């Protein structure tokens, strides 16, 4: 078997070497294949110039994993490949379509690239830069060329002074009032990106203060570098309008709202809004609350954008159109506002077949169970239930957990059925009148009641949660606040499973899977830095505050003499704990075909007071298609604990979780098929030592030795509306083995190692 494995490895190596070496077959005799661009700086700089390669006008053929020119190889194989049988023509055409022709060196493009680079450095304040290029060929592989761009940046210029000039008195006042927010600061390095940002800031400032017709073409910048060496004096001019007249502020004359029927004549007034009646009956207070401008107010672009966001956030309208019509011609200072609302259907039926769904999404999902394996979701939506913009949603979901892994377990190890009802009100009930919340957008209050049936091979759970949730957005962050929730959880363990356990394990399982009551509050947040830089950005999701049981404990401590643990409410033990977690994802877009994505996750749940165990529903686990992909869910940990005798799978949960993932994502077939190579690592631990679970507690001096590690490859099929994902994870380090035997990757040559230490995951969406 060792010989067979070595044979396969040798074959893969030969293919890779052939791909790397035989890449100039289609390059004309007198031409050279461009294999590399290199930018060398003669002087160092602390300025971020990481996007300089974007200005190169000719790039080498794409590479996979940094060295395999797969697309060039595919094109060559299709154009000059050997016979492949009856389907030769079709296969060659396919290879040509997914491949790319060789990039032949064009010195005119190299010269243009040097000019573009020089312009780029100039825009970063290096006004005296110099860029030259050099073409090098290798002594042996003479048909390959590398272009090196030699860059001398020299010193950058600093801003000496910024002066603002406007012909309008009102504009002058605005410029002085908001000068502290300027993107151009004396002493700062001259950067033309900051000049663009300042132009955009000034344009937004004017449009937020009544200047409806204003745009950035009225703003001129004069940069003078002749007065003092190394310094730039900037003057900002705001020119008159197109008629050479001073800009005038516009005031809103009236606001008309059309619901479906534009041009209707039946109207009524509410809160200074003129509302045109239609067959779609909606409380005018709902419209008033989400329209943020009124007659006699100066025009504000930000108020218009907030109105767009809030009206669409109600969920009643398919399209929202807001237009402004001048009263008396373009030079008028009065504007009539017209808001046209096209409603969604009152009822929707949504069917979503699923395979392992991910939690990453684009924000916060409240009280939503995570599916594993094959699933089926059906949702019924009823909008504008009582005419106040409310929505009532009924959802049912069925899921089968699966992960294809050669072990003693069956493919489908878990069945889950859920039914949930959700009532959504498009404002913050009880607190919306508070002025402190006036700047919040997309405000909703949600009441959710659910039932979950979870059938495992070893246990059954019945969960009855109820949640009362506020959700809103503020300063580009999404928030979800659950002032109060209650969840009644019943669990029953299979007797045949219990009978096979040791007395210690029985005691542990009986405490872990017991009836309990979870009550308390949750705070969740989500935000992204993508709006700042769409090539390097963070997505951050965190639940920094989750508690349970404190009110019940306060009652017992104040009004009774009971101080023991496991106290009950209506015959059910209530859980008391604090829990928090954070999920960080960093995206580094290398180029249009390659990206690196890093993920870091940390969480802990501390039981105290009335309980010694974190409830099963709120414990952490690793493994599965979105976590450590070479293991099934709940089959690793806690820590270095292992129990081959009892084969306890349901107790592989913990109170502390650390996990890190990295994925290299690359393009295989443009906009259709993507590949990935990944490494996952992590584990779970408990806070306290437990004689029933040796080595399961978190210890600073050894936790790093208990990290499970796997690697693997994956494919992502892009069907426009969804990403279908297949990942194959292979275990490298297994903490369930004795300390000196945990690097299971060293057993690679052994018989059937791959099938025993790997898992195939099928999923929808990216893992993070």
Q: Are 582 and 544 in contact (CB under 8 A)?
A: yes
Pairing of strands 577-591, 251-259: unpaired
Q: Are 448 and 420 in contact (CB under 8 A)?
A: yes
Task: Please report which confidence band the pLDDT of residue 75 belongs to, taking 50, 70 and 90 as the band edges.
Answer: confident
**554-595 confidence digits (pLDDT tens):** 999 998 888 888 899 988 999 999 999 999 999 999 888 889
Across 647-651, average pLDDT: 55
Across 583-608, average pLDDT: 93
Task: Please report which confidence band the pLDDT of residue 513 belongs to, taking 50, 70 and 90 as the band edges.
Answer: confident
pLDDT above 70 as % of the chain:
89
Report the C-alpha gap between 590 and 665 in whole angstroms. Answer: 10
Rounded to the nearest 5 degrees, what angle is found at the Cα of 420, between the Cα atoms of 417 and 421? 160
Task: Please report which confidence band the pLDDT of residue 332 belongs to, taking 50, 70 and 90 as the band edges.
Answer: confident
Report the C-alpha gap between 95 and 103 in whole angstroms. Answer: 17
Q: What radius of gyration do the chain's Cα atoms show?
A: 32
* pLDDT(313) > 50: yes
Extract the tokens encoding 340: 């046209």
3-state SS, residue 557: helix
Determine the pLDDT at residue 468.
93
**85-101 confidence digits (pLDDT tens):** 555 677 788 888 888 89
Report the C-alpha gap between 374 and 402 in whole angstroms. Answer: 7
Determine the pLDDT at residue 262.
67
Report the C-alpha gap between 471 and 479 in whole angstroms. Answer: 6
Pick the CATH number of 349-764 from 1.10.3720.10, 3.40.50.11290, 3.10.20.30, 2.40.160.50: 2.40.160.50
Pick the more confident residue, 721 or 544.
544
* Helix or strand (DSSP H, E) at 88: helix 88-98
* Helix or strand (DSSP H, E) at 278: none
Do 2-151 and 158-238 have matching folds? yes
Report the C-alpha gap between 405 and 24 in whole angstroms. Answer: 42
Report the C-alpha gap between 376 and 161 in whole angstroms. Answer: 63
Strand partners, 517: 488, 574
Note the Cα 691 to chain centre separation in Å: 41
Report the C-alpha gap between 429 and 422 in whole angstroms. Answer: 15
Pick the more confident residue, 420 or 498.
420
Does the domain at 258-343 match CATH 3.10.20.310? Answer given as: yes
Across 338-347, average pLDDT: 91
Q: Which residue has the tokens 């504009």?
A: 171
**664-679 confidence digits (pLDDT tens):** 999 888 778 899 999 9
Q: Which residue has the tokens 């913990």?
A: 654
Determine the pLDDT at residue 12.
43
Task: Please report which confidence band the pLDDT of residue 263 belongs to, taking 50, 70 and 90 as the band edges.
Answer: low
Q: Are 129 and 147 in contact (CB under 8 A)?
A: no
Across 297-302, average pLDDT: 96
Most confident of 334-338, 439-443, 745-749: 334-338
Pick the more confident residue, 376 or 308.
308
Label residue 329 exposed, middle or buried (CB < 10 Å: 0-12, 13-18, 19+). exposed
762, 766, 760: which is closest to 723 by C-alpha? 766
* pLDDT(546) > 90: yes
Residue 232, C-beta contacts closer than 8 angstroms, at least 6 positions apart: 157, 158, 159, 160, 190, 223, 224, 225
Determine the pLDDT at residue 510.
79
583, 582, 555: which is closest to 569 by C-alpha? 555
Task: Please report which confidence band the pLDDT of residue 759 belongs to, taking 50, 70 and 90 as the band edges.
Answer: confident
Determine the pLDDT at residue 1.
41
Determine the pLDDT at residue 212.
94
Pick the CATH number of 2-151 from 3.10.20.30, 1.10.1040.10, 3.10.20.310, 3.20.20.150: 3.10.20.310
Determine the pLDDT at residue 8.
42
Pairing of strands 273-276, 477-493: unpaired
Across 95-115, average pLDDT: 91
Q: Are 47 and 53 in contact (CB under 8 A)?
A: no
Query: What is the DSSP code (8-state) at residue 638?
Result: S
**671-710 confidence digits (pLDDT tens):** 788 999 999 999 999 998 888 788 899 999 999 999 999 9
**Lowest-confidence region among 167-176, 353-362, 413-422, 600-609:** 353-362
Q: Are 311 and 340 in contact (CB under 8 A)?
A: no
Determine the pLDDT at residue 40.
92
Is the peptide bond prior to 97 cis by the omega test (within 30 degrees of 0)? no
Extract the tokens encoding 287: 């419209």
3-state SS, residue 2: helix
Instruction: Phi first, then psi: give them for residue 173, nearest 5 degrees.
Output: -65, -40
**Average pLDDT score, the chain:** 86
**Lowest-confidence region among 60-69, 101-110, 148-157:** 60-69
Report the C-alpha gap between 306 and 299 in whole angstroms. Answer: 13
Note the Cα 107 to chain centre separation in Å: 41
**362-402 confidence digits (pLDDT tens):** 344 433 444 445 677 889 999 999 989 999 999 998 877 65
Strand partners, 340: 258, 321
Query: What is the DSSP code (8-state) at residue 190?
Result: P
**Lowest-confidence region among 223-237, 333-347, 348-362:** 348-362
* pLDDT(435) > 80: no
Determine the pLDDT at residue 758.
87
Report the C-alpha gap between 252 and 297 in whole angstroms. Answer: 6
Neighbours of 578 (CB within 10 A): 18
Rounded to the nearest 5 degrees, what angle is found at the Cα of 495, between the Cα atoms of 490 and 500? 125
Dihedral angle sign, alpha carbons of residues 728, 733, 737, 740: positive
Q: Are 702 and 713 in contact (CB under 8 A)?
A: no
* pLDDT(231) > 80: yes
Most confident of 666-670, 719-723, 742-746: 742-746
Determine the pLDDT at residue 373.
56
pTM exceeds 0.95 for this model: no
Report the C-alpha gap between 20 and 146 in whole angstroms. Answer: 16
Report the C-alpha gap between 44 and 42 in whole angstroms. Answer: 7
Task: Please tell me the CATH code under which domain 158-238 is placed.
Answer: 3.10.20.310
Residue 408, C-beta contacts closer than 8 angstroms, at least 6 positions apart: 647
3-state SS, residue 158: strand
* pLDDT(628) > 80: yes
Domain chopping of the chain, boundaries: 2-151, 158-238, 258-343, 349-764
Label residue 82 exposed, middle or buried (CB < 10 Å: 0-12, 13-18, 19+). exposed
């Amino acid at each position: 078997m060792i010989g067979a494995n070595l044979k396969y490895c040798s074959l893969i190596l030969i293919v890779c070497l052939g791909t790397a070496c035989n890449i100039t077959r289609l390059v004309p005799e007198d031409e050279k294949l461009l294999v590399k661009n290199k930018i060398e700086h003669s002087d160092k700089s602390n300025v971020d110039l990481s996007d300089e390669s974007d200005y190169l006008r000719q790039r080498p053929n794409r590479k996979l994993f940094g060295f395999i020119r797969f697309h060039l190889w595919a094109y060559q194989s299709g154009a000059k490949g050997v016979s492949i049988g009856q389907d030769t023509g079709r296969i060659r055409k396919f290879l040509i379509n997914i491949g790319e022709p060789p990039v032949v060196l064009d010195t005119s493009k190299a010269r243009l690239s040097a000019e573009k680079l020089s312009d780029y450095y100039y825009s970063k304040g290096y006004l005296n830069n110099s860029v030259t290029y050099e073409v090098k060929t290798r002594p042996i592989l003479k048909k390959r060329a590398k272009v090196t761009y030699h860059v001398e940046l020299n010193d950058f210029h600093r801003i000496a002074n910024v002066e603002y000039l406007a012909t309008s008195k009102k504009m002058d006042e605005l410029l002085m009032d908001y000068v502290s927010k300027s993107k151009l600061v004396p002493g700062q390095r001259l950067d033309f990106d900051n000049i663009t940002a300042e132009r955009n800031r000034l344009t937004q400032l004017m449009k937020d203060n009544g200047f409806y017709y204003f745009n950035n073409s009225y703003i001129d910048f004069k940069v003078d570098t002749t007065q003092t060496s190394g310094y730039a004096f900037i003057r900002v001019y705001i020119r008159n309008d197109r008629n050479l007249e001073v800009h005038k502020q516009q005031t809103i004359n009236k606001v008309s709202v059309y619901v479906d029927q534009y041009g209707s004549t039946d109207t009524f007034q509410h809160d200074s809004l003129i509302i045109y009646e239609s067959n779609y009956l909606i409380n005018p207070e709902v419209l008033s609350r989400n329209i943020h401008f009124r007659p006699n107010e100066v025009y504000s672009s930000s108020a218009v954008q907030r109105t767009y966001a809030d009206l669409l956030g109600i969920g009643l309208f398919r399209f929202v159109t807001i237009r402004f019509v001048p009263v008396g011609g373009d030079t008028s200072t009065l504007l009539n506002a017209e808001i046209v609302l096209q409603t969604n259907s009152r009822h929707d039926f949504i069917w979503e077949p699923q395979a392992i769904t991910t939690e990453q999404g684009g924000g916060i999902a409240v009280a939503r169970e995570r599916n594993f394996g094959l699933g089926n979701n059906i949702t019924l939506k009823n909008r504008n239930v009582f005419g106040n913009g409310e929505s009532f949603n009924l959802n049912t979901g069925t899921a089968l957990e699966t992960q294809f892994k050669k072990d003693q377990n069956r493919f489908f190890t878990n069945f889950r059925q859920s039914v949930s009802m959700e009532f959504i009100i498009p404002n913050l009930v009880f607190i919306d009148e508070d002025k402190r919340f006036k700047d919040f957008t997309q405000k909703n209050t949600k009441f959710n009641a659910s039932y979950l049936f979870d059938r495992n091979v070893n246990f059954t759970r019945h969960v009855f949660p109820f949640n009362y949730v506020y959700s809103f957005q503020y300063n580009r962050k999404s928030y979800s606040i659950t002032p109060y929730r209650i969840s009644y959880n019943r669990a029953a363990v299979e007797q045949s499973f219990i009978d096979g356990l040791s007395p210690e394990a029985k005691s542990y399982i009986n405490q872990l899977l017991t009836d309990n009551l979870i009550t308390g509050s949750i705070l969740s947040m989500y935000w992204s830095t993508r709006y700042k830089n769409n090539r390097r950005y963070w997505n951050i999701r965190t639940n920094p505050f989750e508690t349970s049981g404190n009110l019940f404990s306060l009652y017992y401590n104040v009004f009774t003499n009971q101080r023991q643990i496991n106290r009950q409410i209506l015959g059910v033990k209530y859980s008391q704990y604090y829990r928090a977690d954070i999920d960080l994802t960093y995206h580094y877009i290398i180029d249009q075909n390659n990206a690196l994505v890093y993920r870091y996750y940390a969480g802990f749940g501390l039981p105290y007071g009335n309980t010694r165990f974190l409830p099963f529903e709120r414990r952490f686990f690793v493994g599965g298609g979105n976590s450590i992909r070479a293991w099934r869910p709940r089959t690793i940990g806690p820590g270095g604990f292992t129990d081959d005798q009892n084969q306890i799978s349901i107790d592989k949960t913990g109170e502390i979780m650390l996990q890190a993932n990295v994925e290299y994502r690359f393009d295989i077939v443009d906009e259709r098929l993507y590949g990935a190579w990944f490494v996952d690592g992590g584990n779970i631990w408990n806070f306290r030592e437990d004689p029933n679970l040796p080595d399961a507690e978190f210890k600073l001096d050894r936790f790093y030795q208990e990290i499970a590690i796997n690697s693997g490859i994956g494919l992502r099929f892009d069907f426009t509306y969804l990403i279908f994902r297949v990942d194959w994870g292979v275990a490298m380090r297994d903490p369930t083995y004795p300390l000196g035997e945990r690097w299971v990757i060293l057993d690679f040559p052994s018989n059937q190692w791959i099938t025993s230490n790997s898992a195939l995951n099928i999923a929808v969406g990216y893992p993070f």
